[in-house]
Structures are given as structure tokens and as C-alpha cells.
Amino acid sequence: RKRVRLEPPVAAYTAYVALLDSQPSVLFADGGCRHSVKEMGTWAVQWEWYLKTVPVDSVYFREGKKRYRTFLTHILLSDLPNTPAFPSYNKGRMEKQWIAELKLVASESPGTQTAALITEFIGKIKANGNRLSPAYEKALLSTIQSSSFPEAQ
């Protein structure tokens, strides 16, 4: 009799669906984000942890990484008209509440690459009057889009 082995694809799929189900399906509407920076950041960290559990050549890894990048890009660089990270009405400066929520995500997720990137990000924008320099934005996007970020196991 042949033994059927269900791991890891079924385990990766089950974890993927469970994580998707734990988060809202609608994230953005009416030109803005429907959720707080803290929530979006927490979800990014959850996806980072998920990515460490699935094979990098898995479709679930690729899909999870897309989701991770969506959350991370939004909390750091949102250019949505109704929830911009660097609003023109604030002279292109990130608002204190947004920064406070980013700090909370980083402090609640020690040892994660997400927390390290958020901490670096806050330092860079603070040094620039809470503004994002074009050079750092380009470097940050390059990091987020890198095939090696976040590191998988």
C-alpha cells in the first residue's frame, strides 16, 4: 500500500489560508486604507513569520511575499490620496501619530526584519525633518522588492 504524504504543500496551503482568513479581505477603499498603520504593520510581521515556514519555491511563498510587500509598502510609503504617509497638507512630513504606530509595530516585533526596517526608516526620515528623501525612497523600494527580503529560512 502506498503512503500519501501531505507535507509541506498542504501545510503551506493550510497556513496560507488561515492567515488570509485572519485578516480583512478589503484593505483599501475610496482612495484610502481602511485599517490603521498598527494593524497593517502587525499583518506584515505575521506574513514575515509565515514566509519563514514555507519553501521559497512554493506558490504560497510567492503569494505570501506579495501580501507582505503590500502591507510593508503601505505603512512606509503610502501614496493613497486619503491616507498618504507623507501628506502635502503637512508639508510632506509624516505625521507623529503615523510614526508612533510604526514605533509600536517595531517594539512589539523585536528580532524581525520588519522591525529592523521600520527602525531604520524612522531614523532616516527623522534626520530629514520627518520627510522622505528621493534617494532613500529609491533604496527602500529596492530593499522591499529584493528577492532576498525578507530572508527566508
* Per-residue pLDDT reduced to its tens digit, 9-62: 678 888 999 999 999 888 888 888 899 999 999 999 999 999 998 888 888 999
For residues 152 and 138, give the distance between their C-alpha atoms in angstroms, rounded to a whole number: 23
The interaxial angle of helices 134-145 and 59-77, nearest 10 deg, is 160
- pTM assigned to the model: 0.89
Mean pLDDT across the stretch 120-129? 97
Name the residue type at position 8. Answer: P
Mean pLDDT across the stretch 78-106? 96
Q: Is 79 helix (H, G, I), strand (E, B) or coil?
A: strand
The per-residue pLDDT for 130 is: 97
For residues 27 and 71, give the distance between their C-alpha atoms in angstroms, rounded to a whole number: 9
- Looking at the predicted structure, is the pLDDT value of residue 64 above 90? yes
Contact call for residues 79 and 66 (beta carbons, < 8 A): no
Find the distance separating the first CA and the last CA of the chain, reported in whole Å: 34
